[in-house]
Structure 1
Amino acid sequence: MPEENRTANFGRGVFVHDVVIVGAGPVGLFLACELGLAGCSVLVLEREPEPRSPWKADPLGMRGLSATSVEAFYRRGMLHPLLKASGVNDYPGADEPTSPRGVGHFAGMSLDPAKVDVAALPFRLPSPAMEGVMSNLEAVETVLSERASMLGVEVMRGLTVSAITQDDEIVVARAGEHEYAARWLVGCDGGRSTVRGLAGFDFVGTEPQFTGYVVLATIADPEKLRPGFNLSPAGMYLRTPAKEYIGMLEFDGGAFDRSQRPTRDHLQAVLRRVSGTDVTLNDVHLASSFTDRAMQTTTYRQGRVLLAGDAAHIHSPLGAQGLNLGIGDAMNLGWKLAATAHGYAPNGLLDTYTHERHPIGAWVLDWTRAQAAVMRPDPHAQAIQRVVRDLFGTRDGTTYAFEKISGSSIRYDLGSEQPLVGRNAPDLRLEDGTRLGDLMRDGRGVALDFSIDRRLHGSAMGWESRMRYAAGPARNDLGLGAVLVRPDGIVAWAGDRDPDREAFERAASHWFGSPAI
């Protein structure tokens, strides 16, 4: 759609953005960057007046970014800023696939990275983004905010959305005394999403079994608490190298009143029960609670309103999947929404967002439910826990868990039996040193042509504004002659040594619309 039509005011006397995003957390900001990179006009509305908070900095804001999430930053040229902001000075940047340095945990049971069978991981190639990173929300948001500003994204703070209306042409969000109009609106406003409720999304799932707590406190006798994850007959507690930081959960059916701030006496009592010690908390500086309530919207789109991140799905933080799931949502949605806003998206492209991401969200909910079930303080659950420990003590068991936790097992059903199609693309590298990740920085798709006669060159013409064409022999072509990669890094099509140009053109048209010739 021409620019003058995309920004018309439709008689309402207000500027109409391509997209309004509600929520300036990591998911909203990552999505804003994707849309800004594609040339969309983007406005982000955030209810918090200031970007910084002790809940976002270490240790309370600590988050684990999976290898797949780190790769998303790499593909947009943000890997080094992310590592710097996160204080990571020893990131491997492997030239050869190596065993990961960390795997994580399942239900508080730490996994041994030495047991990961790297050779069994599907389509794994060396990449500057080979493994996950421990970061914090402040670092992630700082990197994304700076990039969003560079891309012309406008962020307005201190605004709470109170109403949403939409018709066939635009959607309007009211915040305070003002209305903000767009052709599309995306709720990235967290687990208690206002957008989700105002737009009428169905939110279904399971009720909690436990209450969890995150606490920053002065401990009188920290030696009574073992470091790391500690399962007990009453629940679990976590003590990190940050001596004043404690995480714990108690299987009380989610009975704690989360509208109230937990008191020192309550937190101390819970900690004593789950640790089996008489540990003493002197002072509580900050504390919050959470549960394992697992809920998901039945669809991620209602008309011109979409959801991403915790607005679309909530679950316990067990396994550290929440932020990674949200970044995956943003990466998947961004290019599709941009193509729709610009008017060249093929029919049904935007609906593939729900089709592809909803099953991933459902899997994460089940992954966290499974951990809660194993941790329950009853003989049946603890018997299962012993079986799970035995399985994760094996090479196959640890490799299975790593594939799930890292995101490398994700494969979208794109209707192809070719084993690479639907997967996150490995970082294919041409003989001249050019990497796939280097070619994806501008947010376009990529056509890699390894064939001797550069067979796809003419076929790629007409999609130059939507994909890059790169040709030449590869250092490891995985036995392929050509690969078409979507802007989100997912393989859309792969051809053999003698690639079929007509098949390539069909795939390109399916994902990128008619060629602009």
Structure 2
Amino acid sequence: MSDVIIVGAGPTGLMLAAELRLAGIRPLVLERQPRPRDTPKAGGIGGQILELLRYRGVLERFQAACTDPIPAPRFPFGGVHVDLTQLEGNPMHALPLPQQQLERVLNEWVDELGVDIRRGHRVLGVEQDAEGVCVDVEGPDGTYRLDARYLIGCDGARSRVRELAGIPFSGTVYPEVNRLAQITVPESVTRLDNGDLEVPGFGTVRSGFTRTERGLFGMAAAPNSDSLSVYTIEDEDAEYDDDVPLTVAELQESIQRVLGANLPVAQTYRLSRFTFKACQSERYREGRVLLAGDAAHLFPATGVALNAGMLDAVNLAWKLAAVVDGRVSEQLLDTYHEERHFAGARTMLHTRAQVALRRGHDPAAEALRAVFQELLTDEQPLRRMGAFIAGSDIRYPLPNSNNHALTGAFAPDLELHADDGIHTVAELLAAARPVLLILSDRADLADIAREWLPHLEIRTAKLDDRPADALLIRPDAHIAWAAAIDEPIAAAEPALRAALETWIGTPGQR
């Protein structure tokens, strides 16, 4: 019997497999496609997942695989632009790493970690009871059955696992087709210094967004490159197969319909087509079956799905490992649903707001976009919007006895002064283990926490301006508990013990 079977070897499934291996669990991954897909999908990753990858010490792998220049932090939001270039400490960064390359890097990582991936193996049926899950599979050599303690569906928008588990997946389907490409134009098209194009027989095609009665056209020049990103949105009722790639002819026909101009194309580097849905699974857990990524949620905007799905995986992996090890009860898995459903709802909120901004065509909608764009000239709303898009605004609603502002938040990467030198929070979390970080002379807190060794790292350091006396940081880099400065031990001890028992298990286990 396997401990964990993951269905789907996309970014979410591969991230989950890597995190489980870091936690000491050896999952089996089933993928229905016989080989990694070449069909272009997402064009990059961004937001909070980049910080998490940095904390794991692997971000440089992904950066090294990125051959395109990293663009300035300007992001589309419902047909307008969120320009974060003027912010110090910008909360939202992106890495232009197309999904095929992203999956290649993730595959290399999980291969090094010793993950077993079976490609060309399709799930036919799922049955579960109190002891485990039985999975019927069709592979290249016929059908067979697997047993596992837990099954995780990372198998995308049309999740077979979700369907077989009977988990409702409701929401809204928008009648939009989006086509996105990275292209170069021939010499007959003149690129102006301001980013506009002069197209023979048509005139000026403006950089940015152009809205017509037939849809939306977007265009932006890639930094330090001859290429352009072009984008169309049209209302269509047609159904498209995700495995059938967008062609240059289809792209040009869409541009002609929306813009009324024939935009010549010299070369293409990326072509993708996608539709928008706003759907969220009613629950992310049904007994021993759990969902992550697109199987759990679909958002009606670009640039957020990979971030959300990979963060689902990070939240789930260490909890699942603790349950499989027998250190904690299955109830810990309920916190996966509670926290990531909450995070998904936050993402759904701003992506649905983008729908409202994007789809209106009357003067009132134009006024809404103008007012929204004007608000983003002020630093505070701009900073809030950047954190919203990045997912860095998420603060899980955890038990918080002293109402500490850091409880539930992503741990800041503090510079720590210890006896053996200067370290950072990111260094402490590279091994994906929970850490009690003591930032003051609180030997009393360390004495309590030693009962949870060896499943906990206890580290002591100094800060010039400490935010708390101590922080209990989970493997997903979120703060489970914080001791207020000079908080009496009588108040701190019960809350610390409760947090350690909740997230790590009964003290004294080996």
TM over 0.5: yes
Describe the shift of the 1:216–1:443 C-alpha distance in structure 2 as closer, same or farther (beyond 3 A): closer
**CA-CA distance at 1:196 after TM superposition:** 1.4
1:64-121 Cα offsets, whole Å, 9 max, x none, are 321x11111122221221221224898xxxxxxxxx9515231232222244365xx9
Alignment of 1:354 onto 2:354:
no
Aligned counterpart, 2:125:
163
Kindly provide the amino acid, as one letter, of the partner of residue 82 in structure 1: F
Change (3 A) 1:239 1:50: farther
2:282 maps to a residue whose letter is T
Residues 453 and 486 of structure 1, relative CA distance in 2, 3 Å threshold: closer
User: For 1:184 and 1:347, how far apart are their aligned partners in 2?
Assistant: 11
- Give the equivalent residue in structure 2 for 1:257: 239
> How far apart are 1:47 and its partner, in Å?
1.4
The 8 Å contact of residues 350 and 388 in structure 2, kept in 1 or not, is answered as no
Work out whether 1:235 is the aligned partner of 2:218.
Answer: no
1:63 to 24, 38, 44: 44
Gaps of 5+ in 1: 1-15, 91-99, 125-129
What's the TM-score, normalizing by structure 1? 0.84
* Greater alpha carbon shift after TM alignment, 388-397 vs 481-490: 388-397
Q: Would you tell me which structure has more strand in proportion to its own residues?
A: 2
Name the residue aligned to 1:49. Answer: 34
Alpha-carbon distance in 1 for matches of 2:404, 2:7? 38
* Matching of residue 469 in structure 1 with residue 454 in structure 2: no
| 1:116/1:402 contact within 8 Å kept | no
In the alignment, structure 1 residue 504 sits paired with structure 2 residue 496? yes
Once the two structures are overlaid, the 10-residue window that deviates more, 440-449 or 212-221, is 212-221
The one of 388, 394, 404 aligned to 1:410: 394
409, 429, 432: which one aligns with 1:423: 409
The letter for the 2-side match of 1:29 is L
- Change in 2 beyond 3 A, CA 1:228/1:433: farther
Distance 2:255 2:458 in 1: 58
1:362-377 mapped onto 2 (5 Å cutoff): 362-376=345-359, 377=361
Q: Provide the identity percentage.
A: 35
> Do the aligned partners of 1:430 and 1:475 also contact (CA within 8 Å) in 2?
no
- Whether the aligned pair in 2 keeps the contact of 1:115 and 1:399 (CA below 8 Å) is no
**2:366 aligned to which of 382, 387, 399:** 382
The residue that corresponds to 1:187 in the other structure is 153
Deviation at 1:150, TM superposition (A): 2.6
Residues 93-242 of structure 1 correspond to what in structure 2 (within 5 A)?
A: 102-116=73-87, 118=89, 131-176=93-138, 177-215=143-181, 223=197, 224=199, 226=205, 229-233=208-212, 234-240=214-220, 241=222
State the number of aligned residues. 475
User: 1: CA distance between counterparts of 2:58 and 2:267?
Assistant: 39
Q: Structure 1 residues 451 and 279, CA, compared in 2 at 3 Å: closer, same or farther?
A: closer
How many Å separate the matches in 2 of 1:473 and 1:156? 47
Per-residue CA deviation, residues 448-498 of structure 1 (Å, 9 max, x unaligned), is: 0122243322112132232211012125422x1111011111111111233
Counterpart residue identity of residue 62, structure 1: G
Q: Quick one: distance in 2 between partners of 1:355 and 1:326?
A: 15
> How far apart are the structure 2 equivalents of 1:428 and 1:515?
28
Aligned equivalent of 2:281: 297
Residue aligning to 2:193: none
- Does the C-alpha gap of structure 1 residues 344 and 217 become closer, same or farther in structure 2, counting only changes over 3 Å? same
Q: Which residue identity lines up with residue 491 of structure 1 in the other structure?
A: I
With 485-494 and 286-295 compared, the bigger mean Cα shift is at: 286-295
Q: Secondary structure at the match of 2:448?
A: coil
Following superposition, the deviation at residue 513 of structure 1 comes to 1.2
Q: Summarize deviations over 1:125-152 as a string: whole Å, max 9, x none.
A: xxxxx94433222333233222222322
Letter matched to residue 151 of structure 1: L
How far residue 336 of structure 1 moved from its aligned partner, in angstroms, is 0.8
One-letter amino acid of the counterpart of residue 302, structure 1:
E
Question: Quick one: distance in 2 between partners of 1:287 and 1:78?
Answer: 28
Q: Counterpart of 1:516 in structure 2: which amino acid?
A: G
Moved more, 435-444 or 45-54: 45-54
Change (3 A) 1:455 1:430: farther
Which sits farther off after the overlay, 79-88 or 238-247?
Answer: 238-247
SS of the residue 1:206 aligns to: strand
Distance 1:181 1:239, change over 3 A: farther
Say whether the 8 Å CA contact 1:425–1:489 is kept in structure 2.
yes
* Distance of 1:453 and 1:363 partners within structure 2: 37
Q: What's the CA shift string for 1:314-353, capped at 9, x where partnerless?
A: 12343x1110011110111111111111111246210011
Matched, 1:444 2:415: no
Deviation at 1:385, TM superposition (A): 1.0
82, 91, 103: which one pairs with 2:62? 82
CA distance in 1, matches of 2:330, 2:246: 51
CA contact (8 A) 1:202 1:297 kept: yes
Shift of residue 406, structure 1, vs aligned partner: 2.1
Change (3 A) 1:430 1:370: same
One-letter amino acid of the structure 2 residue matched with residue 257 of structure 1 = E
Aligned position for 1:10:
none
Q: Residues of 2 paired with 1:70 and 1:294: CA distance? A: 24
Aligned residue number for residue 397 of structure 1:
381
Query: Given the two structures, how large is their TM-score scaled by the length of structure 2?
Result: 0.85
Paired with 1:153 and 1:195, the residues of 2 have a C-alpha distance of 21
Rate the CA distance shift 1:102–1:218 in 2: closer, same or farther, 3 A: closer
Answer whether contact 1:185 1:305 (CA < 8 A) is retained: yes
Cα gap change, 1:228/1:166 in structure 2, threshold over 3 Å: closer, same or farther?
A: farther
Secondary structure at 1:350 match in 2: helix
Q: 1:453 to 1:355 in 2, by over 3 A?
A: closer
Following TM superposition, by how much is the alpha carbon of 1:359 offset from its aligned partner in structure 2, in angstroms? 2.0
2:44 match: secondary structure: strand
* Structure 1 residues 279 and 354: CA distance shift in structure 2, 3 A: same
The answer on 1:313 being equivalent to 2:297 is yes
Residue 504 of structure 1 deviates from its aligned partner by: 1.6
Taking the aligned partners of 1:202 and 1:228, their CA distance within structure 2 comes to 42
Question: CA separation of 1:228/1:83 partners in 2, compared to 1, >3 Å: closer, same or farther?
Answer: farther
CA deviation after TM superposition for structure 1 residue 156, in Å: 0.8
- Indicate the SS of the match to 2:323: helix
SS class of match (1:457)? helix
Q: Secondary structure at the match of 1:465?
A: coil
For residues 244 and 487 of structure 1, the distance between their equivalents in structure 2, rounded to whole angstroms, comes to 40
Residues 257/209 of structure 1: CA separation in 2 closer, same or farther (3 Å cut): closer
230-239 vs 320-329, greater mean Cα deviation: 230-239
Provide the rounded CA distance (Å) in 1 between the counterparts of 2:97 and 2:271.
20
Check conservation: 1:201, 1:298, Cα contact below 8 A.
Answer: yes
Superposed CA deviations along residues 408-428 of structure 1, whole A, max 9, x for unmatched, are 211111132211101101012
Mapping of residues 15-26 of structure 1, within 5 Å:
16-26=1-11
Contact 1:290 1:316 in 2 (8 A): no
| 2:323 aligned with 1:340 | yes
Structure 1 residue 280: deviation in Å? 5.1
Cα distance change, pair 108–51 in 1 and its aligned pair in 2 (3 A): same
